[in-house]
Amino acid sequence: MKKSTFTQWFAVWLLALGFLWWAGFSNRSAAATGKAGNAPAADPRLDMVTALQAMGPHPSLGGQAKVFGRFVGTWDVEYTDFSKDGKVTHRSGELMVGWVMDGRAIQDLWIVNPSGADKEREVYTDLRYFDPKSGTWPATFIDPEHVSVARFTGGAVGDDRIVLDTQDFGGKDTRWSLNDIRSDSFVQREEVSSDGGKTWRLESEHHMKRRGAAPLA
C-alpha cells in the first residue's frame, strides 16, 4: 500500500471513529435528559413532531415519572359505551402514549376506528404534567372534532389505580379512573355523578392491551 493511500485511509478511519463516538455520546445525553434532539425531519411538516418527542422523563420528576410513564407505548383498545337507556355500543381503536417537551410532560393520543355510520376515525389527545406543589397530575383533554376541552386533576391511588376528576363536561362531576394496571393491560372507566359524588353512573369502560413489549425505561 502506498504511503499516500495509507494516510488517506487512516484519516477516514479516524473521522469515522470520531463520528461513532459523537453519536454514542449524543444518544447517551438524550437518554439522560429525556430529549430526542431537535434535528430537522426529512419532511419539514414533521419538524414540530420531531422536536416535541422525548425518549424519557425529565430527571426532575424522580419517582413521579412512574405514575404515567408505565403507559408509554401503543395499546389496542376495546371501547364500550353505556347510554342512560341501557344501550351498549362497542368500538375498537388504539391508544398511544409518549413523553414530550423534554420529558416534562406526557401525551396520550386516543383513536377510535370508523364504525357503522361513522366513516372517519375519532382522534383525541391528553397532555399531562406533574405539579410538585399539589402532588397531582393536572391534564388537559382536547376533542377538536366537537370543540371540547376538559381540565382534569388527580393522581395515583395505590399501585394499580389512578383517579382523575373534572367538572368541565357540562358542570357534571366526572371521574375517569385507570384500574387494574398491569404491564400489559389496564381498564379505564368514565363515570358521572349527579349528587355530588355520592353515587356514580358508568358511562364508558375501555379495555387496553399492550401492543408489543413495554419499553425498558
46-56 core/surface letters (b: 16 or more CB in 10 A; e: else)? eeeebbbbbbb
Q: Is the pLDDT of residue 15 over 60?
A: no
Distance CA 192, CA 61 (A): 31
Mean local confidence (pLDDT), 143-164 = 96
pLDDT in tens, 175-187: 999 999 999 999 9
DSSP 114-167: -BTTB-S-EEEEEEEE-BTTTTB--EEEEETTTTEEEEEEEEESSSS-EEEEEE
Segments making up each domain of the chain, as ranges: 3-45, 58-211
Residue corresponding to grid cell 376506528: 113
Torsion of Cα atoms, 92 then 118 then 190 then 125, to 10°: 80
- H or E segment and range at residue 188: strand 185-193
Mean local confidence (pLDDT), 194-207 = 96
Q: Which of 2.40.128.20, 3.20.20.210, 2.60.40.2890, 3.40.190.10 would CATH assign to domain 58-211?
A: 2.40.128.20
User: What's the pLDDT at 118?
Assistant: 83
Tell me the pLDDT band of 215, cut-offs 50, 70 and 90.
confident
User: What's the pLDDT at 32?
Assistant: 47
pLDDT in tens, 33-44: 556 555 666 889
**Range with lowest mean pLDDT among 13-17, 124-128, 144-148:** 13-17
pLDDT in tens, 25-66: 344 344 445 565 556 668 899 999 999 999 999 999 999 999
pTM: 0.80
Mean local confidence (pLDDT), 97-106 = 98
